[in-house]
Amino acid sequence: MSFDTGSGITPIDFYFDFSSPYGYFAATRIEALAAQFKRDVAWHPIMLGAVFKTTGAMPLPMIPMKGDYSLHDFARTARFHGIDYAQPPKFPIATQSAARAMLHIHAAHGRHRATAFAQATFKAYFVAGTDISDPEQVAVIASSLGLDGAAIAEGIQTPDIKDRLKTVTEQAMARGVFGSPFCIVDGESFWGFDRFDQLRHFLQNGSL
């Protein structure tokens, strides 16, 4: 593993699926954490369903026994960390449209607008219960940020953007990403919002 402590140039690669509650929790904290250590965050929306085909994993709520616990843990973890949360009525949800919209915004308007869109999308889904599998709702979220919703609804249908999402997901898997949230920085991987304490320690000390 290679380390690049000190220079502070390497970004934190932040992988997530828009349907992941722990991904949402991480999304509310990652920018502040990174800024504290003068790091940028590279946000990568991935298709966890494609990843699960490789690992044999299932969405948490569908696993016997683990499912009920998980629903309880989502809400409890949100309260524990002081994060707004309401279990969405439609869960889990297809996230291609939201992920493609983010990649389209990134390509057209740069990473800051893309990050703002990702944060707004997570909030729309996990606080307001918006159906983010619906391209129209995704366009509404984009419009609320001053972006051209109609252009985005068109953009997410292009082969370029569809391919881009596949590539992002494949590249993530090639780097060992198997869940959401998943952070990689300076060759060190951290799976789960509950590894943010170790991620913080690593950013501070350059080792663990």
CB of 80 to a second copy, least distance (A): 5
Binding site for a second copy (CB under 8 A): 54-58, 63-66, 68-69, 72-73, 76-77, 79-80, 173, 176-179, 189, 191-192, 194-195, 197-198, 201, 208
CB of 137 to a second copy, least distance (A): 32
Q: Burial letters for 16-43: b for 16+ Cβ neighbours within 10 Å, e otherwise?
A: bbbbbbbbbbbbbbbbebbeebebebbb
CB of 176 to a second copy, least distance (A): 6
CA–CA dist 17, 44 (Å, integer): 9
CB of 190 to a second copy, least distance (A): 9
Q: Which is nearer to a second copy, 91 or 178 (CB)?
A: 178
Q: Which is nearer to a second copy, 79 or 112 (CB)?
A: 79
Dihedral sign, Cα of residue 101, residue 105, residue 107, residue 108: positive
CB of 179 to a second copy, least distance (A): 8
Q: Which is nearer to a second copy, 167 or 207 (CB)?
A: 207
Helix (H) or strand (E) holding 201: helix 196-205
First to last CA, the chain: 12
Dihedral sign, Cα of residue 30, residue 35, residue 38, residue 40: positive
Q: Which is nearer to a second copy, 33 or 145 (CB)?
A: 33
Provide the residue type at 69 as one letter: Y
CA–CA dist 98, 92 (Å, integer): 14
CA–CA dist 128, 150 (Å, integer): 22
Burial (0-12, 13-18, 19+ Cβ within 10 Å), 150: exposed
CB of 195 to a second copy, least distance (A): 8
Integer angstrom CA distances of residue 156 from 77, 82, 179 = 33, 34, 24
